[in-house]
Structure 1
Amino acid sequence: MSEAIERARTFDAFPDEGIPLESPLAWSFEHVGCPAPGTHSRVMMRERQHDHLILRGGAIVLDEAVRAVLGLSLPARPLELSQGERASLQWLSPDEWLAVLPQGDAFRVETALRSALGDASVAFSDVSAGQTVIELTGDDQALRELLMKSVVYDVHPRHFAVGKGVTTVLAKTSVILRRPDERRWELVVRRSFADYVYRWLLDAGEEFAIGVERDVTAGETT
């Protein structure tokens, strides 16, 4: 391990795949319920458990290392989202980006980035335990109407194109709203507000017969 990595005092927050993890929505699934998708469901909701790594530093310094480690270019424009097969990068501020990674991958990525960057002035924060991703898929019109009565940001396609992500307000909490592709939206939600957002979406999505698909393979206890 390099001297730069040792000085950073990195540690693996996911050291053993055998350790059971609990979804931020585990309590909600048990006590609020999970309406099963049906033939009339126009919106599907699913929690996607990922690792979340905050990257801070100069774009020029970080970009080469990020491309080497993740195979993605660092988003250079405000609100831009770079989407790969297994990871994504989102612009948060001029010197801050959010990397959403496969679960259990944050430590490997952080270690590889620190090794590639050496003594460069950067900062990484693993915030995986503090937030989760709620994915919304289905009929485009229903998805847009659901979001229109939930968030304050304009989600019209002319204003919110694919590949965009913004920090906005949903009801009474803040979320990161992302649009990775034409038929999918994502909400990056703080763990402490996950139940609130889940309940809100169930209520707001009732007119669209919203259904919940549980991802029991991503570390959720049952």
Structure 2
Amino acid sequence: MSDLNVMTPAEIAATKAAVMDQVPGPEIQGQSPLHHADLETLAKQGPKAGGVHLREHKLLGHLTLRCNPDNADQLAAVERVLGVGLPLQPLTSVEKGDYSIRWMSPDEWLILVPGLEAFEVESKFRDEMGGHYSLVNSSGGSTVLELSGDNVVELLKKCIPVDLHAAQFPVGKVVSTVFSKSTAIVRRTGEKRFELIIRRSFADYIWLWLQDASREFGLVIEA
């Protein structure tokens, strides 16, 4: 099962249902949830040194997959589509090239792919996956922030109620947690580098929060 629209133009014209065009023409320009912040200009005009560095990885494809982790055929299908198997251990993640997968619950994973490849990946899942499963494209609802630097752990200690010691939060670990008065999916991608997946509706709040919380360390915007 997928939200992928496979109706023909004639079928779309004949139906009375509202059908979303998931593959719009080039005249439709997507905007990140932080488009208004103009991070590219801030990166050019802002400071070049500081204890925290922030970069947005915008307009990625976000796909939520739910399937049976005990179904060997489905696990094999995922590996054929993505080139890497699902992480089955709680709070873990895997990545290969531009694809990354986060364990969200015993039967749920969040897959990130390059934005222009999301439709192709959905199509491949439809061709390869059998049995009962769900694949939902929620790309427009979130964005990804990368935080790094010598003071990134100190910054995050202000934001999330999670033990960030490397012994408890190693590289590759992922958690869904409270982030100030919002929420975020946090993944450690390096000793001093983390990735936040934040919802569009809270993006401006978290952007303002990070500016304030990093004031004592110095915030460097990267484009």
**TM-score where L is the length of structure 1:** 0.85
**Unaligned ranges ≥5, structure 2:** 7-19
Identical pairs, percent: 39
Q: Would you say the 8 A contact 1:12–1:107 is kept in 2?
A: no
Unaligned runs of 5+ residues in structure 1 are 215-222
The answer for the alignment partner of 2:102 in structure 1 is 90
Q: Which residue is equivalent to 1:138?
A: 149
1:80 to 81, 86, 92: 92
Distance in 1 between residues matched to 2:167 and 2:26, nearest whole Å? 43
Secondary structure of the equivalent of 2:38?
Answer: helix
Regions of 4+ moved over 6 Å:
none
Partner of 1:47: 56
| Map 1:73-222 → 2, pairs under 5 A | 73-118=85-130, 120-139=131-150, 142-214=151-223
Q: Offset at 1:157? A: 0.9
C-alpha RMSD of matched pairs (Å): 2.2
Residues 63/96 of structure 1: CA separation in 2 closer, same or farther (3 Å cut)? same
Give the number of aligned pairs.
Answer: 205
Counterpart pick for 2:32 among 13, 23, 30: 23
Partner Cα distance (1:77, 1:111) in 2: 27
Deviates more, 1:177-186 or 1:187-196: 177-186
Is the contact between residue 90 and residue 106 of structure 2 (CA under 8 Å) also seen in structure 1? yes
Q: Give the aligned residue type for 1:111.
A: S
Contact 1:24–1:194, Cα closer than 8 Å, also in 2:
yes
- The higher radius of gyration belongs to 2
TM-score with structure 2 setting the length: 0.84
- Amino acid in the other structure paired with 1:135: E
Q: Which amino acid aligns with 2:22?
A: A
Q: How far 1:12 moved relative to its partner?
A: 6.1
